[in-house]
Every structure is written in structure tokens, then in C-alpha cells.
Amino acid sequence: MSDLFSQPLAEAALPSPGSALPPIPAKRYFTIGEVSELCGVKAHVLRYWEQEFTQLKPLKRRGNRRYYQHHEVLLVRRIRELLYDQGYTIHGARNQLSHPGNHVATPAPVAGTQSDLQAALQEIIHLLRP
């Protein structure tokens, strides 16, 4: 049985750009390692994105351990989509996030984006059910 959860964290393969990401579990806080696996981005990239995107501010507790909330995991997925799937630069992705209504130079949707949206909607439905 060689699924993603039976492998040590360092050996677990991250999804390639454009591949389907796993659903986000119904939890309040996620460690940087969990966010790394859920979003297909390595931990050092997440730490770098914290410096580049002011909206991304995980809670830091004792020992500078980062704890991400659900909305921040969704934000990381959006940043990943803009950078990896749609080809934006860091500056362009930052502009897209700060001006979401600006669709002047938005590239056409990429395959896989719809499945990400469906997964996010399923997670929202799951969270809203009593």
C-alpha cells in the first residue's frame, strides 16, 4: 500500500502544475507541511510567498511555527493557479489579487481550473452541512 499518507513527508511527491489537488479537510488550522501537500507547493516557497503577498499571513505561534486557516489555504491555491497555471509573474499575481475585478489582461482559463473550483465548492457544501 503506497499511498501519499504512508510515505514520509519528505518523500511524498507534490502534484505537478495543472494536476488535481487533494480536497481540503474540514480543519481549523493547517501546518506548513499540510498546506504544502494540499497545495502542491514546497514549504520554502510558501515562506517566500508570505513575503510577496501581504494577504498571506498565517498565525505564528511558539517557535515561529506557522498555522494556516482554511481561507489562507484557498489563497495559496489561488496564488499557485495564477503563477503556475496561468503564467503570471509575482507582480502580476499580486495585482490580480488586489484588483480581482480587473479582467483586462486575464488569460483564458486553463484545464484543471474547473476541477479545482468543483473541489472547493464541494468543501464549502461539506462545511455548511449541519
Q: What is the pLDDT of residues 15-59, one digit of tens each?
A: 555 568 899 999 899 999 999 999 999 999 999 999 999 999 999
Quote the pTM value. Answer: 0.64
Q: How many CB atoms lie within 10 A of CB 79?
A: 25
Angle of the 32-39 helix axis to the 70-80 helix axis, nearest 10: 40
| Residue 12 vs residue 85, higher pLDDT | 85
3-state secondary structure of 89: coil
| Residue 20 vs residue 100, higher pLDDT | 20
CA 110 to chain centre: 16
The pLDDT of residue 1 is above 50: no
The pLDDT score that the predictor gives to residue 50 is 95
The pLDDT score that the predictor gives to residue 11 is 36
Span 82-106, average pLDDT: 81
For residue 64 the three cell numbers come to: 515561529
The pLDDT score that the predictor gives to residue 120 is 74
Q: Does domain 30-91+107-128 have CATH number 1.10.1660.10?
A: yes
The pLDDT score that the predictor gives to residue 118 is 77
> Average model confidence (pLDDT) for the chain?
79
Domain spans of the chain, in order of start: 30-91+107-128
Q: How many CB atoms lie within 10 A of CB 39?
A: 26
pLDDT tens figures, 68-90: 999 999 999 999 999 999 999 99
Q: What is the DSSP letter of 110?
A: P
